[in-house]
Amino acid sequence: MKLAVITDSSAYLPQDLLHHDDLFILEIPIYIDGESYVEGKNLTHDEFYQKMAASKELPKTSQPSVAELEEVLSGLTAKGYTHAIGLFLSSGISGFYQNIQYLKDEFEGLTVEFPDSKITSAPLGMMVEDCLKWAGEGRLFDEIVANVQHQIDGTSAYIMVDDLNHLVKGGRLSNGAAILGNLLSIKPILHFNDEGVIEVFEKVRTEKKAMKRLVEIVVSDNADGHYQVFVIHANVPEKAEALRQLLIEEGVEGDIPFATFGGVIGTHLGDHSLAVGYIPIV
């Protein structure tokens, strides 16, 4: 078996993995003030947040290109690939997953699967990295797909947003609720629900209490299993480190790496967002 792993630019991936021979990454354009950008090509992480702050309108993102995915898949058999797995951002925040299902049976000699990750960012990146690792170990395709599904079923992320007004712009909160929330210093905690949709999980008074609540949730969710935990942030490294220390103090084991929210997800969450994501270790 020779496996191709395909993902999109919303996945947070280690730098040394970006040029892996068996990895293919679809671009997700970001539109700011009428200009099109692709993070990592003509837009850095810092530049995105600077441009978003200066823009009068919320940046927009489009889906990865179905045509680009079809082009990648059509060229795989000539390169010796027999199998392909596509792991893309959650169907709950993009219609891309639904739009590509017809491609699974279009390529003779190539076995294709598109599991719905129901997540993005660092957990999605770990799924991609693990698939490449498992293929390198010579594992069977069915085992790799089953392992990924086990990860998907046990993965989630909880997010603390900094600016309620940003949620209003994104259509996730009414203006009246944002005004009241700002007056009361409310910090909503969002999460990816079972369908992979980002929704409000709880509303907590003050940032300090919200950070403690994030830790409580993660410790409770991970009590019965072995998980990789990530702290993910948008331009708040000091708060990210404080959150990591809280997790360590509460007994979360193992290394807790940092990841950053890129422009695709930062568009929805806003600057200074902070999150904890976790995924089962298989």
pLDDT number for residue 157: 94
Long-range contacts formed by 242-251: CB under 8 A, 24+ apart: 242/211, 243/211, 243/214, 243/215, 243/274, 243/276, 246/211, 246/212, 246/215, 247/215, 247/218, 247/219, 247/276, 250/215, 250/216, 250/219, 251/219
**Which of 105, 126, 154 is where one domain is finished?**
154
Assigned domain for 37 exists = no
pLDDT band for 247, please (50, 70, 90 cuts): very high
Residue 179 has pLDDT above 60, yes or no: no
Residue 183 has pLDDT above 80, yes or no: no
Residue 61 has pLDDT above 50, yes or no: yes
Same domain, 173 and 233: yes
Show the domain range for 229: 156-280
Same domain, 146 and 162: no
pLDDT number for residue 193: 87
Same domain, 20 and 141: yes
In this structure, of 19-23, 108-112, 259-263, the range with the lowest mean pLDDT score is 259-263
Give phi and psi for 97, each to the nearest 5. Answer: -55, -45
Residue 57 has pLDDT above 90, yes or no: no
Assigned domain for 161 exists = yes
Place of tokens 């993102």: 61
Greatest mean pLDDT range, 9-18, 96-105, 169-178: 96-105
Per-residue pLDDT tens over the stretch 268-281: 788 888 999 999 99
The CATH number linked to 101 is 3.40.50.10170
Mean pLDDT of all residues belonging to the chain:
88
**Which of 154, 171, 186 is where one domain is finished?**
154
Per-residue pLDDT tens over the stretch 158-168: 998 876 555 55
Greatest mean pLDDT range, 58-62, 213-217, 259-263: 213-217
Taking residue 92's Cβ as centre, other Cβ atoms within 10 Å add up to 19
Q: How many CA atoms lie within 13 A of 147 on its CB side?
A: 19
Q: What is the pTM of this model?
A: 0.91
pLDDT number for residue 175: 44
**Which of 103, 122, 154 is where one domain is finished?**
154
Residue 59 has pLDDT above 80, yes or no: yes
Number of domain units in the chain: 2
For the segment 183-200, the average pLDDT, to the nearest whole number, is 78
Quick check: 200 and 140 in contact, CB under 8 A?
no
Same domain, 13 and 146: yes
Per-residue pLDDT tens over the stretch 26-46: 999 999 998 999 887 888 888
